[in-house]
Structure 1
Amino acid sequence: MGVRAVAFWPAAAAVSALELNIPKLIHDGIIDSSGSVLKNQMVQLSPTILAMDSAHFVWACIGDPTTQGIIFYVILKNIRTLKLADWIICNSSNELETSVFNSYPEMLPIGPLLSSNRLGKLVGSYGPKDLDCLVWLDKQPVQSVIYVAFGSITVFDQTQFQELALGLERTNMPFLWVVRRNLTAEPNNAYPKGFKERIQGRGRLSSWAPQQPVLSHPSVACFLGHCGWNSTVEGVSNGVPFLCWPYFADQFTNRSYICDDWKVGLGLEKDENGIIAQGEVKNKIEQLVTVKGYKERALDLKAKVMNSLREDGCSGKNFNNFVKWIKDD
């Protein structure tokens, strides 16, 4: 029929590059034909692209082996579709993933795509937003608040939930913590004894927050979260340093970008029991907000990324050229 095809890629372009290289990973014996990891090693798709841990391949760190196999099968189908596309439009920018876009010219960055840039009113949300938290933020000192949010899927066991709570309490900093009802398996008995009373006035617990306005608020000092790509792009676009707590899928790649490539955040490490302890939470937060460089680099990256959206910026030019390509075709 002669219909041209375009794909939209909402995650980091590096993840798309990884999936397009699955045949080579199989050929090199790093994974088998069902996606199972055969060699635990760092993998670099090119000399300049971010190295990835094979144990953290997108499909290899989700659920049990059966789930991983299903996801790998879906990815293989997606790859066949991607290869039919003339362009892969990406929610990223050349400033964030220069090496990937230099290596894969069919990928076209037009991001960051932010809900705050929409012309119309937003419709739909995961849950009712706690708009009063913005009033609470107005009362906090500039760059003093820890914003904590783990998206819509992450679930903590009670031990880990309580360690996070105590770590936030021990910082003696104000914090806004988004606590979905299903964030922990035991929501009715989740918090440490006396926690809510001790943090009253300093800590705010919210069922769901308007993340864009929160991250752009001058009182926010850092963002502790799961490193989903949307949250990563939103944090970068607002110049906010990160505390990285990835769980699965592409979140580990995003953490590597944040900590190793852009150097705008720190990763949280598990102890010998597989827990991120309260002391680790406290110490990393204090390091992030007191050591010079993280905030400065975050603001510098914000300026570069947001400038790319201008009409004469890389993403702006890419978008306009893409629209012209559609019209001329």
Structure 2
Amino acid sequence: MDTQLASAKRSHAVCMPGPYQSHIGAMLKLAKLLHTKGFDISFVNTEYNHRRLLKSRGPRALDGFHGFQFLTITDGLPPSDADSSQDLMALSDAVRNNMSAPFSDLISNLNHAASNSDVPPVTCIFSDGFMSFATSEAAQEFGIPIIQLWTIPACAFMGYKQYRTLQEKGFTPLKVGPLSLLVNKLVQEESPLKSIDCNLWTEDTECLRWLDSKEPKSVLYVNFGSIAVLTREELIEFAMGLANSEHPFLWIIRPDLVSGDSAVLPREFLEETEGRSMYADWCPQEAVLNHLSTGGFLTHCGWNSVIESVSSGVPMICWPSFGDQSTNCAYACSKWEIGLELSGVVKREEVEKLVRDLMEGDKGKQMKERITEWKKLAQEATEPNGSSSINFDKLLNEFLP
């Protein structure tokens, strides 16, 4: 009885990310922050992504620990052992049509198990905004508060939702990030949370040692994220543009980066860039962006990447692909002036020009000064009395029981 009383006083959050690399990463940061505030965490991945994480991180990586467990639900798609991102449209359909019932069953099972353990019943759900099709019915069925985490900027979110009612009630704007800096402040080095990560590909840390050998702010980091796909022609144009820029670069080339083909780079490109280039399937992005040798970021402009780039003080070359990325690019380049846009058909001459402008031009210097100020503001916001820290506590105190 004492155990049941103790568990009843604790909060138990079920965290359900979208089944995509960057969405899992953002939700995991939020889950870590919730755990530092005393929450028990049940972190839910699809079975497909759970298998990929075990393959990437090791067979015991998702064992979790007391108060922080990893669970799975099916996405209803055909089984696959592929080490690549699932088809975006098929996965979107699966979220809408297949995952609501399995998620409700998971909540029911957690509540049932709570009667025989010291883990409290579910008290709240933190759902990726794009997973509402899978999570909202369960929240309504069990009478559990649900909070949505949108992994896109407010300027893009405005295109999906209307804020008028929330504004009239004084609930917005709530500014919950940069989550990565909040995690760095609240999660102690000795905490077991530090060892939990969510990369679906194995990280190559050799690139960090390679960066150690380069001059400060001299390396361009190139990563198009976990979903964007290049054609063979685009791969070659990017490659030759990087070669002709004569700047050192670290290029992340996923196994599934090139559509319907392997990412085979031209021999003349490899010969031209020998000694000033490094390649990896995947990498610890925040560590790369925070490395002293990283001076620029050629990115697909996903919101996680933009936030991490700003938090690290690294200006961008933006090549958006889909979703909110075009909006992010427009703001980064035109309004905030911390990025340069690569638009339309990829041409090596344009890639070369933008790399030179960013890494050595006057406009690049201005962007570096501006984004350094933004980095300072982000760090101040995540201090104990900063706006992000205050708003995170406000979220927990005002919206949750």
TM-score (norm 1): 0.69
Deviates more, 1:110-119 or 1:69-78: 69-78
* 1:70–1:175 CA distance, 2 compared to 1 (3 A): same
What SS does the aligned partner of 1:153 have?
coil
Is 2:243 aligned against 1:151? no
Is 2:354 aligned against 1:284? yes
| Residue 318 (structure 1) aligns with | 391
Deviations 1:51-77 (A, max 9, x none): xxxxxxxxxxxx99x889969979696
CA distance in 2, matches of 1:227, 1:125: 18
| Residue 381 (structure 2) aligns with | 308
CA distance in 1, matches of 2:253, 2:386: 38
Residue 92 (structure 1) shift: 8.0
- The residue correspondences of 1:217-256 to structure 2 (distance < 5 A) are 217-256=291-330
Q: Which of 186, 189, 202 in structure 1 is aligned with 2:261?
A: 186
Amino acid paired to 1:186? D
- The residue correspondences of 1:1-329 to structure 2 (distance < 5 A) are 104=167, 105-114=171-180, 117=184, 118-119=187-188, 120-184=194-258, 185-187=260-262, 190-270=264-344, 275-289=345-359, 290=361, 291=363, 292-325=365-398, 329=401
Residue 208 (structure 1) shift: 0.9
| Bigger CA radius of gyration | 2
* 1:163–1:303 CA distance, 2 compared to 1 (3 A): same
What SS does the aligned partner of 2:179 have?
coil
RMSD: 3.8
What SS does the aligned partner of 1:282 have?
helix
Amino acid paired to 2:340? L
* 1:282–1:125 CA distance, 2 compared to 1 (3 A): same
Amino acid paired to 1:284? L
Paired residues, number = 267
* 1:277–1:71 CA distance, 2 compared to 1 (3 A): farther
* 1:8–1:161 CA distance, 2 compared to 1 (3 A): same
Residue 284 (structure 1) shift: 1.0
* 1:284–1:101 CA distance, 2 compared to 1 (3 A): farther
What SS does the aligned partner of 1:214 have?
helix
What SS does the aligned partner of 1:294 have?
helix
Query: For structure 1, which runs of at least 5 residues remain unmatched after alignment?
Result: 13-62
* 1:133–1:7 CA distance, 2 compared to 1 (3 A): closer
What SS does the aligned partner of 1:114 have?
helix
CA distance in 1, matches of 2:228, 2:324: 14
CA distance in 2, matches of 1:225, 1:146: 10
Equivalent residues of 1:93, 1:111 under 8 A apart: no
- Larger relative contact order (C-alpha < 8 A, sep ≥ 6)? 1
Amino acid paired to 1:322? L
Deviations 1:104-140 (A, max 9, x none): 4345222111186244213342212111111110110
Equivalent residues of 1:93, 1:315 under 8 A apart: no
* 1:314–1:89 CA distance, 2 compared to 1 (3 A): farther
Equivalent residues of 1:9, 1:88 under 8 A apart: no
Equivalent residues of 2:241, 2:351 under 8 A apart: yes
Deviations 1:1-29 (A, max 9, x none): xxxx99999999xxxxxxxxxxxxxxxxx
Equivalent residues of 2:211, 2:291 under 8 A apart: yes
Between Structure 1 and Structure 2, the one with more helix by share is 2
Identity of aligned residues (%): 32
Amino acid paired to 2:178? P
Equivalent residues of 2:318, 2:329 under 8 A apart: yes
Deviations 1:169-207 (A, max 9, x none): 01100000001121113216x212322222111011111
* 1:286–1:245 CA distance, 2 compared to 1 (3 A): same
Amino acid paired to 2:376? A
Equivalent residues of 2:153, 2:303 under 8 A apart: no
| Residue 37 (structure 1) aligns with | none
Deviations 1:149-178 (A, max 9, x none): 011111111111000000000110000000
